[in-house]
Amino acid sequence: MLKPFLSGLAVVALFTAFSAEARTSYILPYNFAPTEAYVTAEAATSENVFTPEGALKIDSFQIIDDKGAATPAKGTQFKEVTLFESALPHDGTFRVTTGNVEMRSMQMVEIDGKWRPVRGPGGKGPGEGNQPPQQPAIPADAKTVTVKSMGRADSYISLKKPSDVLPPLEGKGLEVAPATHPSRLFAGGTFDFSVMFDGKPLPATDFKIERGGDQYRDASYIYTGATDADGKAQVSFDTPGVYVIELNRKWQDGDQADPRNWSYSLTLEVAP
């Protein structure tokens, strides 16, 4: 069982941005501690974590070493999952990442003080089939904006001996900066981390943690928490398994001149 550590961490109830109906984009290495010099991994979206339901449409992934050197890995897309494999140039710890990827964009319009997505013409009215109600008339002077949705998925692996220094972050967009080495996580231990945005700590930021394989357990575990005033958080792991930390940041919470929604996931293995 995973329990949020309460020192400096505000534990909160489930919230809309992390609805159980929302899909999570993730990277899942097939071996977090390979003994041979290659990594194989999958990348997908899923409502049930690590059960792929849609391929991440990304052609190239990056394998970043502790010096910041990047090795590209070409992805092969299937309907439900994208697979990729890469040689590892040397021993040590690597971050496996999608990098920041533009997933989609949406036109938004401000009506009656609320931002709404712009739908195309021809939508049916309320009660007509399963279509959403018609969009209210858009005033000629209404504010409109194109909002891009950016996503990043990360994980860490270590070939033989883990590196003492972790691969550097990109410093762009939404990221997690581990303070605890991801390749040294064990049941009964804790994971300390900071949430960063454009290289700066992000305080009071909500996150969610899920565990893979819960469809085979009697109950699922979903925990939510928030970073402290310094952008830091700590969680404890009682049960071994593979976990994913999920983050979201809405465009209204950032630079209004740069309207982008951000999502992030970090896949971790907790050893027995």
Give the amino acid at 198: D
Predicted local distance difference test score (pLDDT) of residue 116 = 76
**Rounded alpha-carbon distances, angstroms, from residue 228 to 8, 133, 201, 202, 263:** 6, 41, 10, 9, 19
What's the rounded Cα separation, in Å, for the pair 223 and 246? Answer: 10
Written as six digits, the tokens of 143 are 């504010």
| C-alpha dihedral (132, 137, 142, 144), degrees to nearest 10 | 30
Written as six digits, the tokens of 19 are 């609805």
Predicted local distance difference test score (pLDDT) of residue 17 = 32
Residue with tokens 């858009």: 138
DSSP code, position 122:
T
Residue 133 three-state SS: coil
Q: What angle do CA 63, 65, 68 make, to 5 degrees?
A: 100
Phi-psi region of 66 (alpha: psi -120 to 50; beta: other; left: phi over 0): alpha
**Rounded alpha-carbon distances, angstroms, from residue 210 to 144, 256, 260:** 36, 31, 25
Predicted local distance difference test score (pLDDT) of residue 130 = 54
Q: What angle do CA 172, 176, 181 make, to 5 degrees?
A: 130
Choose among 49, 250, 24, 260: nearest CA to 153: 24
Q: Which residues pair with 144 in a beta bridge?
A: 109
pLDDT in tens, the chain (272 residues): 444 433 333 222 222 233 334 678 999 999 999 999 999 999 999 988 899 999 998 889 999 999 999 999 999 999 999 999 999 999 999 999 999 988 777 777 777 777 777 875 544 434 444 555 555 667 777 777 778 889 999 999 999 999 999 999 999 999 999 999 999 999 999 999 999 999 999 999 999 999 998 877 777 778 899 999 999 999 999 899 999 999 999 877 777 777 888 999 999 999 99
Q: Which residues contact 149 (CB under 8 A, 6 or more apart)?
A: 102, 103, 104, 105, 106, 260, 261, 263
Q: Are strands 70-77 and 114-117 parallel, antiparallel or unpaired?
A: unpaired
Task: Tell me how long the chain is.
Answer: 272
Choose among 61, 50, 43, 68: nearest CA to 99: 61
What's the rounded Cα separation, in Å, for the pair 119 and 107? Answer: 8
Written as six digits, the tokens of 268 are 């971790």
